[in-house]
Amino acid sequence: MTSAADAATFAAVWCGGVEDHPDSTFLIFEAPDGVVSQWTYGEFDEEVGRVAALLVANGVGRGSAVHLALTNCPTFVAIWLASVRLGAWIVPSDPMSRTPELADHMGRTAPTVGFCSADRADTYSAAMPDTMVVVEIDEADALFGPFPAVGLAKSDGFERPAPAPQDRAAVVFTSGTTGRPKGVEISQANYAFAGQTMAAASDLAATDRQLVVLPLFHVNAQYYSFASAIWAGASVALMHTFSASGFLGQVARHQATCASLFAAPIRMILARGEAIDGVGLRHCWFAQNLADDQYDTFARWIGCRPRQLYGMTETIPAVLTDHAEAPRADSMGFVTGGCQVEIHDAAGVPTADGEVGEIVVGGEPGITLFTSYLDDPETTDASYRGSWFGTGDRASRDADGRFFFDGRRSDVLKVAGENVSTVEVEAVLTSHPLILEASVVGAADPIRDEVPVAFVVAADAANPPTVEALQEWCQQHLAKVKQPRDYTLLDELPRTSVGKIRKFILKREVDAR
């Protein structure tokens, strides 16, 4: 296990990549108009230096916060690396956030400089504090439009501190699937550890190319794709946004070998795409379960069997990853090399094989685990039991060490005194041939205390299942206590930007009824 004494910094990892692979491709960017730009490690480092000069000219130094509300673009990557190189830290927000959410993030982090799209400047400016400098950019401009005007090159004289491993490198706000987002403090060492661990788990080499379609403000793209690529000296093909119909073409067009997705985007690709020639991924991560038929079809389309993983913003790398040999659609895999994971019962005792309990993660805060929750020592302390970080997620482990997800604590309903996993009910619903996806929450009941209710999305909007058909399906596959008492057909489920279902919105609707 990595310790503070030998931990690397992300700034040093980037500098090492530039030194070792100056002429190797680092970044390919496909803009919204289809124009493709490309940089080597050495060329992109020059842009990073220019962005660093801009930051310094606007008051950014070691320990300063830099706010970003940008879609996927080279500018985001350059700001991230320049901030890390200066010993500053980034605060990435969903670029489509409204003013109150942006104001909350800025108010809690006090950024020195902020970056936004010129197209969304009104929303952004309404949220910013008076003390913050704002730089408006064109996200589709791959030539770093505002930066050459600064007139400072990489070699111009300004302080280049050597950050320490536990220096803050980012505050990333959680996706808010259950309530108000928490600010997760991520250190220089955290990013380096994520890169090292995920590169090893995927056997990443300098000849590999990551395809990134998930948003950069989310840690999936940062930890699993960019940090691992930089650690290995690999390249990244960055798409400006996710396109279900365009994903396979992007894989082929940019000769990508690796990708990372969630189950929801995969289902969208299956619903809107089709197999094409020239797709040859050797590796693909995905999070959250897929039905067996969905998994098998997607595997045929991309050329490899995807490997499920499990991680959180707080755990840094994915602490569970399936093996390349015989991965399973229904399993999160095994403990990732260099990580510590156990399953504990309510008393904090490790469970026996096959028993469901809470996933807990061991490690050193600020090195292999997140540093803390921003300005919230009480919540930070409450998230640990002894030295183990409690994820709030439930799982079981078989005798071979393979883990199986069983939902979050909030995904277990108490129905007439019996535990009902909404994950199990959702799996049955999505196995119905006419259902694309489903989400199940609990509703208060005067007799049973709580009952499951289902929200479903049809695979074909023109041919949705009837409530009677869904009732019959669940009666055939679920015990009576697990059968939903109500079904609501939706055009789509409410989601975060990376496809996680915002169940608290559905729960609020149920409670309002």
Q: For residue range 427-466, what is the model confidence (pLDDT) as tens digits?
A: 899 999 999 999 999 998 877 778 999 999 999 999 999 9
Burial grade of 122 (CB within 10 A; 0-12, 13-18, 19 or more): exposed
- pLDDT, residue 150, reads 45
| Residues making up the chain, counted from first to last | 513
- pLDDT, residue 148, reads 44
* Amino acid at the residue 22: P
Q: Is the pLDDT of residue 149 over 50?
A: no
d(C-alpha 56, C-alpha 245), whole Å: 41
Q: 409-429: per-residue pLDDT in tens?
A: 777 787 866 778 888 899 899
Q: Which residues are paired to 362 by β-bridges?
A: 340
Q: 211 near 26, Cβ under 8 Å? A: no
For the chain, give me the number of helices (H) and strands (E)? 15, 25
- pLDDT, residue 475, reads 92
Q: How confident is the model at residue 155 (pLDDT cuts 50, 70, 90)?
A: very low
Q: How confident is the model at residue 183 (pLDDT cuts 50, 70, 90)?
A: very high
The CATH topology of domain 416-512 is: GMP Synthetase; Chain A, domain 3 (3.30.300)
324-333, 339-348, 405-414, 438-447: lowest mean pLDDT where?
405-414
Average pLDDT on 31-42 reads 96
- Indicate the domain borders of the chain: 416-512
Average pLDDT of every residue of the chain: 92
* Amino acid at the residue 409: R
> DSSP code of 369?
B
Residue among 334, 269, 324 at smallest CA distance from 302: 269
Q: 262-295: per-residue pLDDT in tens?
A: 988 898 899 888 999 999 999 999 998 888 999 9
Per the structure block, which two tokens stand in for 229?
A: 């690529």
Residue among 231, 250, 232 at smallest CA distance from 240: 250
